[in-house]
């Protein structure tokens, strides 16, 4: 389930980026979103494998940060290799936004869990 949340957030990131640049979400014969999202989704999957995210999928630091780093670095490398843009402002915005999304939802889930199930004091 955590992987699905990550994928949805990465695709949403790509969709918002496309929409904010007036290129339309689908554009390019309906493949615009796919073209924009695939490098980040592929890097996200690699990040899950390398970090073994399935072991602690909801941990913000142990899982969220490595998955985020792999998604940004791998996504930018794949964009570069596929001839897509990697301008510095885009790298900065993608880095910060994906950090907020990929580690942020885990931090919120962790806080909600702790709030719902407070520890008992002896």
Q: Which of 88, 85, 75, 87 is nearest to 38 (CA)?
A: 75
Return the DSSP state at 54.
G
DSSP code, position 34: H
Q: How many CB atoms are closer than 10 A to CB 3?
A: 14
Averages of pLDDT over runs of 10 residues in the chain (122 residues) are: 96 88 60 88 97 93 95 97 91 96 93 72 60
Q: What local confidence, expressed as pLDDT, does residue 18 receive?
A: 83
Rounded Cα gap, residues 82 and 13, in angstroms: 19
- The pLDDT of residue 19 is 81
Query: Which one, of 59, 78, 60, lies nearest residue 14 by Cα?
Result: 78
pLDDT of residue 28: 59
């Amino acid at each position: 389930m955590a992987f699905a949340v990550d994928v949805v957030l990465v695709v949403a990131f790509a969709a918002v980026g496309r929409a904010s640049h007036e290129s339309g979400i689908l554009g390019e014969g309906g493949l615009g979103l796919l073209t924009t999202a695939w490098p980040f989704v592929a890097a996200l999957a690699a990040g899950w494998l390398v970090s073994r995210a399935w072991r602690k999928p909801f941990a913000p630091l142990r899982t969220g940060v490595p998955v985020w780093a792999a998604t940004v670095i791998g996504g930018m490398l794949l964009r570069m290799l596929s001839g897509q843009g990697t301008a510095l402002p885009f790298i900065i915005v993608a880095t910060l936004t994906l950090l907020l999304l990929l580690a942020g939802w885990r931090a919120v889930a962790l806080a909600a869990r702790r709030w719902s199930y407070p520890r008992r004091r002896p």
